[in-house]
A and B are shown apart, each in its own frame.
Chain A
């Protein structure tokens, strides 16, 4: 059968109302496409136009958007990713996530650039989508099933699906959504679908072929991008061989590995759970998103079974952070979270809180540091909302407000922070505090420049505000194109000027002249990709402004939900207690960096975007 073709983008979005079980189609206005690119950016804009302030994240008025970028389906390197945007039940503010599963390709090649879901179905359903539209199907037989079992059933009908597990059905506030073996992990999107009685969405796919408008320019850009990726030691070597677990030893050396609920910073046994050890002992094979050039995802043998290798965040938070140094145990926890459909970062952070709260007599449980035995059962209980699992499923912020222990509940704005201790990377501290979705390491990924690549001094505040703003804008572009965030390493580091500069010079120039120094990086790869696919003109300067627009829009949406300076903070432990591994007991000097960040962002002293900032970015104030 000859496939139909879409040149550029279909620009068509499906809008589904589960309450009435009807759907409609609308076209993305060209203006919005140019101003927000696609993926996360466009998803945010669509929600901004449609969703009222103060809606209950678990109510029918919340909308979840699954958004494909313009690169999906074109074969651009590392473009097998899609975004989802909604209001988070964990944080009560906007959340977005990126996923490398096959659903993105399936929906895009069914002819749709995005899917908006609102309302609530009276009974459990799943959606079947093809180029003709949406069918609402009874989910009775798959409701209650674990993710992989449910996915096996629905995938008989299409080429890609998003599915929730029991955790989503039971409204666990950090339930995730699965596609293939990848996840829309953070912020509890699974619970949003669960509250809507929506178990899965399956897309037929393979109906359309996606072609760039300017194919020559596209091929040239792809060649350059692939060359960068294959040249860069992080993407071509470190991640390809050891996966993201290569971070374990780097973090341990830099003193930013979370140990015992962020009291340590490094640990003598960390090597046992490192990427290097997994390669040596567990026989890993590639298992990646499609298409991918970096190949960071792996499968390996744990406890005699072939399983996905836990990502670094999972290893960090279920491993050293719980004082567990057994890769097989960590893999067991990862498998339970996969089956139940739970974010491993939030699950690990919440369990660590429970362990410490139990130790301090604030909370009653059998959990204790260094003891994996109780963790597996507790994770299953969380997913099934049984016993103490019901309360643990509310996340560490809720628990600490009820039982105490707020100083060691390691979250920002309700989202548990990822496995990087910012007391060893001050820029990452700022980045965690101001990240739009909460304790997110991906908003600027500053830790890598401070602690791994030594391009910034980790213990100073110089240049941190400027770089944070720059990286946030970049990554909002990346998540809107949509492409893998790891491609930022080659784009930032492979251009000749950066490569030729000695580390000391680079370090000084980035710290003292950050706004100038960051222009050494070659961001035109991304703008050329977008313009070659859509046919619209875009240069890297305009693209960065779009990134800024997306970021500020998200912030503005959050401030309408009550977010302000009071929320741009870190857990008390990171502000007041030093790490055991640091003889100087340094803490994050957040108050020094925050005003500078607000200034470069165009926010007022309370962290609210100024009217003139909104006007400049053409964001209509509501």
Chain B
């Protein structure tokens, strides 16, 4: 572990995980002086009966549901017309807080509505990094496991534009067994790859801090230990809950560092091609570590600690730890078999667009990731061999 001369770490959310976590929501709302939430969920969540379970958990509380909206569009970002309609609904019903049940699209929309009802002017005026200047309304996120970590982070995508602010963290994250649904093998692997990318890139940066390490390492470990089990048997409750915890922690860790090369490129490719982000990131992640080794950049050996725990870490000689952790990670991704493609070529990503993706990724990371590095990583990932 390294202790930098100085560091800042911020984590807003309170995590409420496990049995009966739902029943704690009213206490959490009360502690924030709220009792009339606007509840948002997707159609899919409603069809799975999860909103009914949620409402049932509030029976004995003094919480009044201001409005229950179960028609969130299943886009990968929030759309402004729906957002404005919901902001109107929030005001008309006199709501004082927001609860989002589901995955990324619901949470992005909830964050957007929260910006709209807590600020003046158009939501789009607050796009970008740290443009928001004041606290938003209390916001509770109930995970259904259909996520990838960005839900618990300080970012949101509204109309394809990135909003980043510490005010966008959920105040409370609820991870209740009853609400965590099993995903298909494909979706589970893709979600895990987004969170794994966020976690690895947040602890792999040289200017990392010990708090980030803690969150990221636990997230990596949970994903490493549980993903294969969940992929084989999607209904394992414990495994799904562990992954949901991992995603929550990865999101928090990720919020404390700028987006890395894999995350930025994954978003850029996914946005253009419509491929799932997790697929793109899963293909790029092991290769990015190998690329860094090729460039003689150091990779912190703590990655091995996160993957194997203290015993495994100690068994490997110090000089071999980096290579071992990369090999384990590669094997981990390979063992997912045909779920994740091994190269960009296999994913039919257009090579002539690499320059465009590199430019987009570099812009997203505020030039902290160079276009040249992006191009080289993409060239390697094209064939999938470092």
| A interface list, Cβ under 8 A from B | 53-56, 59, 92, 360-362, 400-408, 559-563, 566-567, 572, 576
A594 → B minimal CB distance (Å)? 15
Smallest CB-CB separation from A559: which chain B residue? B348
* Given A54-B352, A361-B124, A402-B160, residue A407 in contact with residue B75 (CB < 8 A): yes
A406 to B79, CA, bound (A): 8
B108 → A minimal CB distance (Å)? 12
A562 near B348 with CB under 8 A, answer: yes
B352 near A55 with CB under 8 A, answer: yes
* Given A404-B159, A404-B160, residue A362 in contact with residue B350 (CB < 8 A): no
Across the interface, which residues of A come within 8 angstroms of B73, CB to CB? 407, 572, 576
**What class of interface size applies to chain B in its complex with A?**
20 to 34
A560 to B348, CA, bound (A): 6
Choose among A361, A407, A567 the residue that contacts B122 (Cβ–Cβ < 8 A).
A361
Smallest CB-CB separation from B121: which chain A residue? A361
A562 near B350 with CB under 8 A, answer: yes
A401 near B81 with CB under 8 A, answer: no
Whether B272 is near chain A, meaning CB under 8 Å from some CB there, is: yes
B124 near A362 with CB under 8 A, answer: yes
Smallest CB-CB separation from B276: which chain A residue? A566
A406 → B minimal CB distance (Å)? 7
B167 → A minimal CB distance (Å)? 21
Choose among B125, B271, B349, B352 the residue that contacts A59 (Cβ–Cβ < 8 A).
B352
Across the interface, which residues of A come within 8 angstroms of B14, CB to CB? none
Across the interface, which residues of B come within 8 angstroms of A560, CB to CB? 348
B159 near A572 with CB under 8 A, answer: no
What are 24 residue pairs bridging A and B, where the CB atoms are less than 8 Å apart in the complex? Answer: A53-B348, A54-B348, A54-B350, A56-B350, A56-B352, A59-B352, A401-B160, A402-B160, A403-B159, A404-B77, A404-B124, A404-B159, A404-B161, A405-B80, A406-B75, A406-B79, A406-B159, A407-B73, A408-B81, A560-B348, A561-B348, A566-B275, A567-B274, A572-B73
B350 near A400 with CB under 8 A, answer: no
Whether B62 is near chain A, meaning CB under 8 Å from some CB there, is: no
Across the interface, which residues of B come within 8 angstroms of A403, CB to CB? 159-161
Whether B351 is near chain A, meaning CB under 8 Å from some CB there, is: yes
Contact with A along B56-78 (1 / 0, CB 8 A): 00000000000000010101010
A372 → B minimal CB distance (Å)? 25
A402 to B159, CA, bound (A): 9
Across the interface, which residues of A come within 8 angstroms of B351, CB to CB? 54
* Given A361-B122, A561-B348, A572-B73, residue A406 in contact with residue B160 (CB < 8 A): yes
A405 to B274, CA, bound (A): 15
Majority-rule SS of A interface residues = loop
A562 near B347 with CB under 8 A, answer: yes
Whether B158 is near chain A, meaning CB under 8 Å from some CB there, is: yes
A444 → B minimal CB distance (Å)? 23
B272 near A401 with CB under 8 A, answer: yes
A402 → B minimal CB distance (Å)? 7
A572 near B273 with CB under 8 A, answer: no
B242 → A minimal CB distance (Å)? 29
A405 near B350 with CB under 8 A, answer: no
Across the interface, which residues of B come within 8 angstroms of A563, CB to CB? 348
B230 → A minimal CB distance (Å)? 22
A92 to B353, CA, bound (A): 10
Across the interface, which residues of B come within 8 angstroms of A562, CB to CB? 273, 275, 347-350
A55 to B348, CA, bound (A): 12
A53 to B160, CA, bound (A): 29
B75 near A362 with CB under 8 A, answer: no
CB-based closest 5 A-B pairs: A404-B159, A562-B348, A56-B352, A361-B122, A404-B160
B274 near A404 with CB under 8 A, answer: no
Across the interface, which residues of A come within 8 angstroms of B71, CB to CB? 576
A408 to B350, CA, bound (A): 26
Across the interface, which residues of A come within 8 angstroms of B272, CB to CB? 401
A551 → B minimal CB distance (Å)? 20
Contact with A along B307-320 (1 / 0, CB 8 A): 00000000000000
* Given A360-B80, A401-B271, A407-B81, residue A572 in contact with residue B75 (CB < 8 A): yes
Across the interface, which residues of A come within 8 angstroms of B273, CB to CB? 562
Contact with A along B273-285 (1 / 0, CB 8 A): 1110000000000
**Known contacts A561-B348, A562-B350, A576-B73; can you find 12 more A-B pairs with CB under 8 A?**
A54-B348, A362-B80, A400-B160, A401-B272, A403-B160, A405-B79, A405-B80, A406-B159, A406-B160, A560-B348, A561-B350, A572-B79
A54 to B351, CA, bound (A): 6
Across the interface, which residues of B come within 8 angstroms of A55, CB to CB? 352
Across the interface, which residues of B come within 8 angstroms of A404, CB to CB? 77, 79-80, 124, 158-161
A83 to B208, CA, bound (A): 59
A360 to B84, CA, bound (A): 10
Across the interface, which residues of A come within 8 angstroms of B159, CB to CB? 362, 403-406
Across the interface, which residues of A come within 8 angstroms of B124, CB to CB? 361-362, 404
Q: Which of B80, B271, B351 has the most CB of A within 10 A?
A: B80
Which B residues between 340 and 378 are near A, CB-CB below 8 angstroms? 347-352
Across the interface, which residues of A come within 8 angstroms of B125, CB to CB? 361
Q: Which of A59, A402, A562 has the most CB of B within 10 A?
A: A562
A509 → B minimal CB distance (Å)? 35
B30 → A minimal CB distance (Å)? 35
Q: Which of B77, B122, B160 has the most CB of A within 10 A?
A: B160
B274 near A360 with CB under 8 A, answer: no
A461 to B313, CA, bound (A): 59
A622 → B minimal CB distance (Å)? 13
Which B residues between 135 and 175 are near A, CB-CB below 8 angstroms? 158-161
Smallest CB-CB separation from B43: which chain A residue? A576
A226 to B273, CA, bound (A): 46
A400 to B351, CA, bound (A): 22
Across the interface, which residues of B come within 8 angstroms of A405, CB to CB? 79-80, 159
Smallest CB-CB separation from B124: which chain A residue? A361
Which B residues between 262 and 307 are near A, CB-CB below 8 angstroms? 271-275
A94 to B347, CA, bound (A): 18
Smallest CB-CB separation from B122: which chain A residue? A361
Which B residues between 158 and 211 are near A, CB-CB below 8 angstroms? 158-161
Across the interface, which residues of A come within 8 angstroms of B122, CB to CB? 361
Across the interface, which residues of A come within 8 angstroms of B352, CB to CB? 54-56, 59
A53 to B349, CA, bound (A): 10
Across the interface, which residues of A come within 8 angstroms of B271, CB to CB? 401
Across the interface, which residues of B come within 8 angstroms of A559, CB to CB? 348
A561 to B344, CA, bound (A): 12
Smallest CB-CB separation from B127: which chain A residue? A404
Across the interface, which residues of B come within 8 angstroms of A92, CB to CB? 350
Choose among B81, B158, B274 the residue that contacts A566 (Cβ–Cβ < 8 A).
B274
B91 → A minimal CB distance (Å)? 19
Across the interface, which residues of B come within 8 angstroms of A362, CB to CB? 80, 124, 159
A59 → B minimal CB distance (Å)? 6
B86 → A minimal CB distance (Å)? 14
A53 to B352, CA, bound (A): 11
B116 → A minimal CB distance (Å)? 12
